[in-house]
Amino acid sequence: MTLKKFLLYYHSMKFMRYEQILWRIFFVVKRLVYKKAKSFFCVLYSIKAANVKINDEYESFSGEVDLRSEKLGMEGAVRDDLNNLREKLKPLVERNEFSFLNKSVCFKKSINWQDSEVERLWLYNLHYFDYAFDLGLAHVFEKGNLFFNTFRRLTEDWILKNSHIGCGPGWEPYPVSLRIVNWIYAYSFFKDNIRKDEDFEEKFKDSLAAQCEFLSKNIEFHVSRNHLLKNGKALFLAGMFFQNAEGKRKNLYLRWKAKGETILLNGLHIQILGDGGHYERCPMYHLIVLQDYLEVFLLAQRNNVSCSIEKKLKKMALFLINILHPDNDMPLFNDSAFGIAKKPGELIEIAASCLNGLKNADKFFEPTLYTKLLAGSVARECEDVEPEIIQQETQQFEDSGFCAIRDKKRDHFFIINYKEPSPFRQPGHSHSDMLSYELSLGSKRFIVDSGAYNYSKGKWREYFRGTAAHNTVVINGHDQSELWGIFGVARRARLLYSRFRIINGKSSFFEAGLKGFPPFYNLSHHRMVFYIDNLFWIVFDLINGDGVVNKSYKIQNIIHAHPDREVEIGGVKHEHSCNDLDHHANIAIKDENAVLQVAPLKISSEKGVKSEITLKKVNDGAGQIQGWYSSGFGEKRGNIAIVIEKETCLPAAIGYALFPSTSGFSDFSAGCEINSSFDSGIKNMKLNFEIKTSEYSYRIKKYREDIEIDKF
């Protein structure tokens, strides 16, 4: 091991609890034992599986809900969802073709459950058996046994080819957890068919029980995070699904249920923050965790099991509602991607059906077969309570580290992500993206986070996690935090402070600072965001360095435009790299309905230091990796990155104003005068901004906590 790699491990592991390290060592050793004693564990878990049988009184989602089309009230959206489901399953049913992460693989002769030619995450998806739920749902609407036969064929094949317990990707605890849940759900749909096939029912029950017992002995305490909650959900549902076999008194199923319940309740306390956000600070995983808890809550209700988690669920739902863009979808901060979790509207509809205080959330609803299944399974009516204003104009989530500024009248939305990598002990899904933001005008996204793309080691994982892939500042080409491997985070940026306030009822101000950019331990980045009279934004950045004297730094302030928006300079569309633009160049991000003009701030200070600013538009045509956007795993598109750049000594200031318009271009100028020495400290700096457009002119003064806004 090289010294560099040793230091990466050291700076990553020093944040972990010693229990996590011990659990990791224990997990690795145990996997080796499973490989060496395959036959022993197969016999052991087979004996234990004989202690349980399927609980005849278990109530699934579909136990009370008739999903037949004539009963369902098949509105257009749900009917379309059914048609899409049939089309989605056709390749799987007809030719063993599986599609995950925007990649399709056809197994013509037999399924290779250990296929080394595909990405590891793709292979995990193959073992999750999410398609079992889809097959069961489609089975409800179709005559005959086509979908049941497919499920039986795939299940028997998996049992036959994955018989060595604890070996291979299919026996890692996370895939086991998802497969347990999907098989339990599938049984609910195929119950009548399975009971007619005693041989298959016995194989199914024995394998499922063995997986549950294996999982109960291999909880992912070393990983924690959303993995641990998946383990808990699987064991809790298994505890309701099984009961003692005749003449057996082992009560395995009670142990599974108790262990799952403990994990889930502890997870609510530890992983769900005070403002309702999930502690990984990743919107996609917030959706996944919310779905898990909603399903657990509803199934517990149906099976008369106490599960008092309504207050936390409501907080999670309200958090989700308040971070949504006007298109009613999530921001793509950290390891987020569309198409993995359920859509926000589906989960909000289910939450509103079973939680008090969300009755006026119907504008977010997205009816699908899934929502009809779960929302229709509610065992009680919600009490009539006073409706709340569930989506605020502006809101800071201090625990989760997001600040959302929303103008409902103009349909503008700005959300900034400002907390350090999280959770503190193991922030595997974090990016180096502190103080980055996304911005929408109407239902269209104009400035975007670059997304996640994949979970594979290499240049693309490095790029999408790196600071340059986000709408923030890069110093000398370094990331804010030291990222490595697929999920590694070594030396980390840390939050210095954050403040948010409303000014005069119609303007908003947010500021935060961070210290980071290893190997520089003395550099700090301070960002201020003004939203003035609900008309325009000012994004102002200060870069400082403790003890740095007469050393030049290259500072890049990056803005990523959505690939569906055009970027124009002086009214001319540009699709390739463009260097050394004039400081006053008319830069605009636009579509057919709106224009977002970008005006770099012309900055002067008492010392008279002035720096030239270069604007660049960088994409794949420039021979650089920068300039990519990934909305879903496995897919990426070239986009335009506007780079405002200066090379100067520290301290230094850089920034821009953003002018939205629906009526086309307007003349503008934006400047900032720093009327104090940097030596007086960030808090004591006197800043004067002057903004002029053909429609309005403003002077904004900031000194300490005082902000004055004058329109002239």
- Short-list 7, 161, 83, CA closest to 482: 7
Contacts of 311 (CB under 8 A, 6+ apart): none
Burial 333-346 (b: 16+ CB within 10 A, else e): bbbbbbebbbbbbb
Backbone angle region of 580, left / alpha / beta, with phi > 0 → left and psi within -120 to 50 → alpha: left
How far from 292 is each of 139, 231, 267, 351, 631, CA to CA, in Å? 23, 11, 12, 12, 23
Q: Which two tokens stand for residue 469?
A: 């892939």
Q: Could you tell me where the DSSP H helices lie in 449-540?
A: 459-465
Q: What is the pLDDT of residues 297-325, one digit of tens each?
A: 988 888 878 778 888 999 999 999 999 99
Backbone angle region of 334, left / alpha / beta, with phi > 0 → left and psi within -120 to 50 → alpha: left
What is the rounded average pLDDT of the residues 532-558?
86
Residue 2, burial from CB neighbour count under 10 angstroms (0-12, 13-18, 19+): exposed
Q: What is the pTM of this model?
A: 0.92
Q: What is the pLDDT of residues 369-419, one digit of tens each?
A: 888 888 764 444 445 444 456 778 889 999 999 999 999 888 899 999 999
What is residue 467's predicted lDDT score, i.e. its pLDDT? 95
CA-based R_g, the chain, Å: 27
- Short-list 97, 259, 274, 103, CA closest to 177: 259
Q: How many CA atoms lie within 13 A of 634 on its CB side?
A: 13
User: What is the β-pairing status of strands 494-503 and 507-516?
Assistant: antiparallel
Look at the block and give the residue holding tokens 């923030």: 472
How far from 588 is each of 142, 569, 619, CA to CA, in Å? 52, 7, 17
Task: Provide the residue count of the chain.
Answer: 712
Rounded Cα distance, 577 and 618, in Å: 5
Backbone angles phi, psi at 12, to 5 degrees: -85, -45
Query: Which band of pLDDT confidence, cut at 50, 70 and 90, is reported for residue 352?
Result: confident
- Short-list 259, 293, 255, CA closest to 276: 293
Per the DSSP assignment, residues forming a β-bridge with 52 are: 244
Q: What is the pLDDT of residues 65-110, one digit of tens each?
A: 444 444 555 556 677 888 888 899 999 999 999 999 999 999 988 8
What is the rounded average pLDDT of the residues 632-657?
88
Decide if 170 contacts 113 (C-beta within 8 A).
yes
How far from 138 is each of 29, 87, 227, 425, 521, CA to CA, in Å? 42, 11, 28, 42, 57
Query: Which band of pLDDT confidence, cut at 50, 70 and 90, is reported for residue 563?
Result: very high
Q: Which two tokens stand for residue 208?
A: 């499922």
Rounded Cα distance, 60 and 377, in Å: 9
Q: Which amino acid is at 246?
A: E
Rounded Cα distance, 694 and 696, in Å: 6
